[in-house]
Structure 1
Amino acid sequence: MLSKRLKEIKIAVCLVLMSALLLCSNTVSEANQYPDYLNGDRNWVLVNAKQGMAWYMDKSSVAVQKYAPPNYQIAVNVVTVSLSSNGFELDLINSPRVYETETHYYYYNWDSRKMYRLDTMANKWNYMPPVGDYASTSHVIEGELAFYAAYHMKFYGGKQWMDSATNRYETAVSDSAYMLLDAY
Structure 2
Amino acid sequence: MRQNKVLGITGKMGSGKSTISSILAQNYGFKVIDVDKEYHILLEENEELKKKLTDVFGKEILVSGRIDRNRLRTLVTADRSRFEILNKITHAFIFERVSYLVLEVLKGCHTVIDAALLFEIGLHKLCSVVWFVEAEEDVLVERIIKRNGWSEKEIKSFLERQKILESYKNLANRVIVNNFDIEELKSVIRKYLKEDGLI
TM range (shorter): under 0.3
Give the TM-score normalised by structure 2.
0.23
Question: Which has the bigger relative contact order, CA under 8 A and spacing at least 6?
Answer: 2
Larger % of helix: which? 2
TM-score by length of 1: 0.24
Return the index of the structure with the highest Cα Rg.
1
Greater strand fraction, Structure 1 or Structure 2: 1
